[in-house]
Protein backbone atom coordinates (compact mmCIF):
# COMPACT_ATOMS: atom_id res chain seq x y z
CA UNK A 1 0.00 0.00 0.00
CA UNK A 2 1.29 3.43 -0.94
CA UNK A 3 2.16 5.90 1.76
CA UNK A 4 1.68 9.26 0.11
CA UNK A 5 3.70 11.22 2.66
CA UNK A 6 6.89 9.30 1.94
CA UNK A 7 9.26 9.40 -1.01
CA UNK A 8 9.59 5.85 -2.31
CA UNK A 9 12.85 4.82 -4.01
CA UNK A 10 13.63 1.46 -5.62
CA UNK A 11 17.22 0.65 -6.59
CA UNK A 12 17.79 -1.78 -9.48
CA UNK A 13 20.72 -3.89 -10.67
CA UNK A 14 20.99 -7.13 -12.57
CA UNK A 15 20.58 -9.77 -9.85
CA UNK A 16 19.93 -7.80 -6.63
CA UNK A 17 22.96 -9.26 -4.85
CA UNK A 18 25.70 -6.64 -5.29
CA UNK A 19 24.97 -3.06 -6.35
CA UNK A 20 21.29 -2.54 -5.56
CA UNK A 21 21.26 -4.13 -2.07
CA UNK A 22 24.39 -2.11 -1.25
CA UNK A 23 22.65 1.02 -2.48
CA UNK A 24 19.56 0.11 -0.46
CA UNK A 25 21.68 -0.15 2.72
CA UNK A 26 23.77 2.96 2.03
CA UNK A 27 20.79 5.16 1.18
CA UNK A 28 18.93 3.91 4.25
CA UNK A 29 21.89 4.76 6.46
CA UNK A 30 22.21 8.24 4.91
CA UNK A 31 18.47 8.85 5.38
CA UNK A 32 18.59 7.61 8.98
CA UNK A 33 21.64 9.75 9.81
CA UNK A 34 19.88 12.80 8.35
CA UNK A 35 16.89 12.17 10.63
CA UNK A 36 14.64 11.51 7.64
CA UNK A 37 13.72 7.87 8.26
CA UNK A 38 10.00 8.68 8.38
CA UNK A 39 10.18 10.50 5.02
CA UNK A 40 11.49 7.65 2.82
CA UNK A 41 10.76 4.08 1.83
CA UNK A 42 13.81 2.42 0.29
CA UNK A 43 13.98 -0.97 -1.43
CA UNK A 44 15.93 -2.80 -4.11
CA UNK A 45 15.30 -5.43 -6.76
CA UNK A 46 17.02 -7.23 -9.59
CA UNK A 47 16.09 -7.55 -13.22
CA UNK A 48 16.47 -11.32 -13.26
CA UNK A 49 15.22 -14.12 -10.98
CA UNK A 50 18.58 -15.87 -10.46
CA UNK A 51 19.11 -14.91 -6.81
CA UNK A 52 15.58 -14.39 -5.48
CA UNK A 53 15.46 -15.20 -1.77
CA UNK A 54 19.24 -14.99 -1.29
CA UNK A 55 21.37 -12.65 0.79
CA UNK A 56 23.67 -10.25 -1.07
CA UNK A 57 27.01 -11.48 -2.38
CA UNK A 58 29.34 -12.27 0.54
CA UNK A 59 32.06 -10.01 -0.86
CA UNK A 60 29.70 -7.02 -1.04
CA UNK A 61 28.55 -7.68 2.51
CA UNK A 62 32.17 -7.84 3.71
CA UNK A 63 33.22 -4.65 1.93
CA UNK A 64 30.09 -2.88 3.15
CA UNK A 65 30.71 -3.97 6.75
CA UNK A 66 34.17 -2.37 6.62
CA UNK A 67 32.41 0.94 5.86
CA UNK A 68 29.76 0.52 8.53
CA UNK A 69 26.89 -0.71 6.34
CA UNK A 70 24.69 -3.72 7.02
CA UNK A 71 23.95 -5.05 3.55
CA UNK A 72 21.36 -7.76 4.21
CA UNK A 73 18.47 -7.18 1.78
CA UNK A 74 16.93 -10.44 0.57
CA UNK A 75 17.00 -10.50 -3.23
CA UNK A 76 13.79 -10.08 -5.16
CA UNK A 77 12.94 -9.54 -8.81
CA UNK A 78 11.56 -6.30 -10.22
CA UNK A 79 7.81 -6.59 -10.80
CA UNK A 80 6.54 -4.05 -13.30
CA UNK A 81 2.92 -4.74 -12.37
CA UNK A 82 3.54 -3.41 -8.84
CA UNK A 83 6.85 -1.58 -8.63
CA UNK A 84 6.02 1.21 -11.08
CA UNK A 85 2.94 1.99 -9.00
CA UNK A 86 4.61 1.56 -5.61
CA UNK A 87 7.71 3.73 -6.17
CA UNK A 88 8.29 7.37 -7.07
CA UNK A 89 11.83 6.79 -8.33
CA UNK A 90 13.38 3.68 -9.84
CA UNK A 91 17.14 4.14 -9.83
CA UNK A 92 19.19 1.91 -12.12
CA UNK A 93 22.92 1.22 -11.94
CA UNK A 94 23.79 1.11 -15.67
CA UNK A 95 22.48 1.58 -19.20
CA UNK A 96 21.47 -2.07 -19.63
CA UNK A 97 19.35 -1.82 -16.47
CA UNK A 98 17.87 1.42 -17.82
CA UNK A 99 16.92 -0.18 -21.15
CA UNK A 100 15.41 -3.22 -19.47
CA UNK A 101 13.31 -1.34 -16.92
CA UNK A 102 12.11 1.40 -19.30
CA UNK A 103 11.15 -1.33 -21.78
CA UNK A 104 8.84 -2.77 -19.10
CA UNK A 105 7.15 0.58 -18.48
CA UNK A 106 3.51 0.73 -19.54
CA UNK A 107 3.48 4.45 -20.34
CA UNK A 108 5.56 7.62 -20.37
CA UNK A 109 4.75 8.39 -16.73
CA UNK A 110 6.30 5.09 -15.65
CA UNK A 111 9.31 5.62 -17.94
CA UNK A 112 9.96 9.01 -16.33
CA UNK A 113 10.29 7.34 -12.90
CA UNK A 114 13.38 5.48 -14.13
CA UNK A 115 16.59 7.40 -13.47
CA UNK A 116 20.29 6.58 -13.68
CA UNK A 117 22.41 6.58 -10.51
CA UNK A 118 25.24 8.12 -12.54
CA UNK A 119 23.14 11.25 -13.14
CA UNK A 120 23.48 12.04 -9.41
CA UNK A 121 27.22 11.57 -9.03
CA UNK A 122 28.88 14.57 -7.39
CA UNK A 123 32.51 13.55 -7.01
CA UNK A 124 32.46 11.11 -9.92
CA UNK A 125 30.72 13.28 -12.53
CA UNK A 126 31.57 11.99 -15.97
CA UNK A 127 31.23 8.32 -15.03
CA UNK A 128 28.25 6.74 -16.73
CA UNK A 129 27.40 3.82 -14.46
CA UNK A 130 28.07 1.82 -11.33
CA UNK A 131 29.93 -1.13 -12.88
CA UNK A 132 28.91 -4.59 -11.71
CA UNK A 133 31.68 -5.90 -9.40
CA UNK A 134 30.42 -9.50 -9.42
CA UNK A 135 33.16 -10.92 -11.67
CA UNK A 136 35.84 -8.61 -10.28
CA UNK A 137 38.05 -8.38 -7.24
CA UNK A 138 38.27 -6.26 -4.10
CA UNK A 139 39.00 -3.05 -5.99
CA UNK A 140 35.84 -3.50 -8.08
CA UNK A 141 33.68 -3.81 -4.95
CA UNK A 142 35.39 -0.77 -3.41
CA UNK A 143 34.83 1.27 -6.58
CA UNK A 144 31.17 0.23 -6.67
CA UNK A 145 30.75 1.36 -3.06
CA UNK A 146 32.54 4.67 -3.74
CA UNK A 147 30.21 5.36 -6.67
CA UNK A 148 27.11 4.26 -4.75
CA UNK A 149 27.95 6.51 -1.80
CA UNK A 150 28.46 9.42 -4.18
CA UNK A 151 25.21 8.77 -6.05
CA UNK A 152 23.22 8.35 -2.84
CA UNK A 153 24.55 11.69 -1.56
CA UNK A 154 23.51 13.31 -4.83
CA UNK A 155 20.03 11.79 -4.78
CA UNK A 156 19.47 12.71 -1.14
CA UNK A 157 20.69 16.26 -1.78
CA UNK A 158 18.32 16.57 -4.73
CA UNK A 159 15.33 15.16 -2.84
CA UNK A 160 15.94 17.31 0.24
CA UNK A 161 16.66 20.44 -1.87
CA UNK A 162 20.25 20.67 -0.65
CA UNK A 163 21.74 20.20 -4.10
CA UNK A 164 21.78 22.26 -7.23
CA UNK A 165 21.60 19.33 -9.62
Catalytic residues: 13, 19, 132
SS (H, E, C) the chain: CCCCCCEEEEEEECCCCCHHHHHHHHHHHHHHHCCCHHHEEEEEEECCCCCCCCCCCHHHHHHHHHCCCCCCCCCCECCHHHHHHHCCEEEECCHHHHHHHHHHCCCHHHHHHEEEHHHHCCCCCCCCCCCCCCCCCHHHHHHHHHHHHHHHHHHHHHHCCCCCC
Amino acid sequence: MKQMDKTRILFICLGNICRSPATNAIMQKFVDEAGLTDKFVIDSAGIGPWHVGQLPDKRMRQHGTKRGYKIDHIARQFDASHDFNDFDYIVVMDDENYKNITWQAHDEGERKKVIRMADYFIKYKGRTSVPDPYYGGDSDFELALDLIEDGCRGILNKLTNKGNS
